[in-house]
Amino acid sequence: MDLFGDYTLRLVALGSAILGATSGALGSFAYLRRQSLLGDAVSHAALPGIVLAFMLTGSKVPLVLMLGAGLAGWIGTLAVRLVVRRSRVPYDSALGIVLAVFFGVGLVLLTHLQKQPESAQAGLESFLFGQAASLLKRDVVAMAVLGAAALTILVLLWKEFKILSFDSDFAASIGLPVRRLDGLLTLLLVVAIIIGLQTVGVVLMSAMIVAPGAAARQWSRRLAPMVVTAALIGVTSGVAGSLLSSYVPRLPTGPTIVLVLSVIVVVSLLLAPGRGLLWRSLKIASLRTVPDLDPVLMHLYALSHQHPDDPDHGHPVAVIRTMSLPGANIDAALEGLASRGLAERTPGGGWAPTAIGRREAQRIIDREAGEGP
């Protein structure tokens, strides 16, 4: 029972690694584009496709079922777009509707099939939570080919997808076909999802899409390292989950992979330097004493209104301190305003807003008046 001796285990681990790499890399883009729920909707929408593909062809060849899953998932994304464009239903609700309707139809079809006398349908329900042990060599080959194709397109159109994700208006302004690129990236996401359905299943597949990207983001400051890290996290979870479930009896592979992944996510959220919760709470503690500059500027502006004919009239630091939260480092805030040209020290030792500072303060007031509830 080790990775190099056991043929089945080797196959399962390899399949899970392919699944982890593709869903990690492509899921990163879904995560960055705030489309995490899209993966959830697509994977659930794949279920009726799997069942229908079997009902129409009578075949359980994975490639046939994958094709059905991919078609249904793709139709699901089109349905989401249609609902958003033709109704007043917002995007997240549209995703929820499509997920529920497609998954519901899938379950109805599946239940109907299971009531049939012949047992040819046996095993289809394993697509709910995945059944890695059923992976054959031809399945892993199909996964590898699909995954390699998706990742190749991702690498070729790297800068186009990057700019689409970061600033789609700008992408359109330099003449990129934003709609078609968006459709292609979604299609690649569908491919990543159907690669994982047999191993992880429709219910847990969304975790494989979202989680590697979420964890990798904590450790990376640029896109390429993030996507590579996410793919590595996917591979690690896949292989570790396969190994664990083979050592521990009756531990299902798919859920175990997702559990390993969840541990990586939690550790990343807590510990990552710069972004981790632990790091941030340390940093916030050290910053607590310097207040935001805006409120201090507003106080100065309010004070300057008391001398409408002498806008440069200075006010002592003590007055501003009493107007602010206790313990705030007002001197540092005033120096900060001065360095931005918004306030200045007056000859009498007090502080006054500059002309630019007064304008900025008025602009903040206007903005809050215009955008308030």
Q: How far is the CB of 229 from another protein (least distance, A)?
A: 10
CB of 238 to another protein, least distance (A): 23
- Containing H/E element for 345? strand 343-345
Sequence-distant contacts of 71-76: CB under 8 A, at least 24 apart: 72/45, 72/46, 72/47, 72/48, 72/102, 73/42, 73/43, 73/45, 73/46, 73/49, 73/190, 73/193, 73/194, 74/187, 74/190, 75/45, 75/49, 76/41, 76/42, 76/44, 76/45, 76/46, 76/102
Residues that bind another protein (CB under 8 A): 32, 34, 156-160, 162-163, 165-167, 169-170, 172-175, 217, 220-223, 225-226, 340-342, 354, 356-357, 359-360, 362-363, 366-367, 370
Shortest Cβ 268–another protein spacing (Å): 14
Indicate the residue among 31 and 54 with the shorter CB distance to another protein: 31
Choose between 87 and 111: whose C-beta lies nearer to another protein: 87
Q: Which is nearer to another protein, 123 or 177 (CB)?
A: 177
Residue among 137 and 359 whose Cβ is closer to another protein: 359
Separation CA 363–CA 181 (nearest Å): 39
Choice between 118 and 371, CB closer to another protein: 371
Q: How far is the CB of 98 from another protein (least distance, A)?
A: 22
Q: What is the DSSP code (8-state) at residue 121?
A: T
Instruction: CB nearer to another protein: give 321 or 358.
Output: 358
CB of 88 to another protein, least distance (A): 8
Task: List alpha helices for 58-136, DSSP H.
Answer: 62-86, 91-114, 126-129
Smallest separation (angstroms) from another protein to the CB of 175? 4
Answer positive or negative: Cα dihedral of 23, 24, 27, 29: negative
Quote the CA–CA distance of 56 and 53 in Å, as a whole number.
5
